[in-house]
Homo-oligomer: A and B are copies of this chain.
Amino acid sequence: MENGNYTPLFNLDSFERKPRFTNGFFQRDVLSVDQFSKDDLDYIFARADEMQAMSRKWGTCDLLKGYTLACVFYEPSTRTSSSFIAAMERLGGKVIPITEGIQYSSVSKGESLIDSMITLEQYCDVIVLRHPEIGSSSTAAKYVKVPIINAGDGAGEHPTQALLDLYTIKSELGTIDGLRISMAGDLRYGRTVHSLTKLLTKYDVSLRYVSPDTLRLPLELMNTLIDKKMDVREFSRVEEVIENTDVLYVTRIQKERFTDLAQYDEVKGYFNIDAELMQKAKEKMIVMHPLPRVGEIAYAIDKDPRAAYFRQVQNGLYIRMALLAAVLGQA
């Protein structure tokens, strides 16, 4: 082995990785829907449109070449982790996927979430974090310098889901203002319903909530809507709202939230979006669902052009691409 004077590996003068856009989202954490102004939403949606166009024409690009994402899932969520991984890879960035075994690994040796996050930050430029405890992403963001994107913190928030939901409405119907949006299913525990509702308060929309009695929208959220003088009403049957609805947002009754399974058995199968119901709906209505579904929407509906739930999944990819690029200063 030669000693002392080694042939250098790199000519580092040739190029330097630099943020292109330093205002707005650069280095910002994405923790909650509350942090997004209407201008922010417009910006991210415009960038998501570009991501879609790029994906269709090129498939992938080099926008995030030089950047690395640590994608950390303390609880499995194939849909969300796949979406973030695909998003980063399509932008030419690198991914360190950390999912399996995480509970048997450092954490079981007594390591705190904070130490794990600071450790991972040494390897990457941005962290996507899913963790079962409310507030975990916000806590992590306090200690970690790289941007944290909250990919779900238990019963807390899942902001990228709410953004992709809203983006889907805008993409599908061209506007958000003026629409009548009906949400049906588990409105009590359904995190996606709560987050989307919060975002929709920024717009001029009519909100219709449809649920069994035991799964109505939480009191505080309803009071917020009333205080903001939103056009809001509650129902117990989808049939009562279907005719005038522009967006039907259906959610799964989440078995895992019930301590009393008898109560679950009572309400499961409460909804059934089928061909008969769809006949009463507007021609331009869209059906959305955060998936997975467990019987709320009949498979036969998938072929109906109004079934937007799989396009909604794809929109998640574009929204996450836009967010990743934005917090890294490349959009």
Contacts and interface: CB of A to CB of B under 8 A. Distances in A.
Nearest to A1: B24
A70 B116 CA distance: 24
B10 A123 contact: no
The interface centre, meaning the residue of A6, A59, A60, A302 with most chain B CB atoms within 10 A of its CB, is A59
A134 interface: no
B123 A12 contact: no
Contact of A85 (B46, B96, B311): B96
A59 B2 CA distance: 28
A76 B89 contact: no
A325 interface: yes
A331 B9 CA distance: 7
A191 B310 CA distance: 35
A42 to B, nearest CB: 7
A123 B59 CA distance: 10
Nearest to A325: B9
A330 B101 CA distance: 33
A228 interface: no
Interface string A75-104: 011110011011001100011111111101
Contacts of A255: 109-110
A57 B58 CA distance: 27
B313 A122 contact: yes
A128 to B, nearest CB: 14
A123 B82 contact: yes
The interface centre, meaning the residue of A83, A122, A252 with most chain B CB atoms within 10 A of its CB, is A122
Interface stretch (A149-157, A178-186, A291-299): A291-299
Interface stretch (A61-69, A204-212, A275-283): A61-69
A227 interface: no
A314 B122 contact: yes
Contacts of A35: none
B96 A68 contact: no
Interface string A237-273: 0000000000000001011100000000000000000
Contacts of A78: 98, 101-102, 105-106, 116
Contacts of A61: 10
B101 A313 contact: no
A267 B50 CA distance: 59
Interface in A111-129: 111, 114-116, 118-120, 122-125
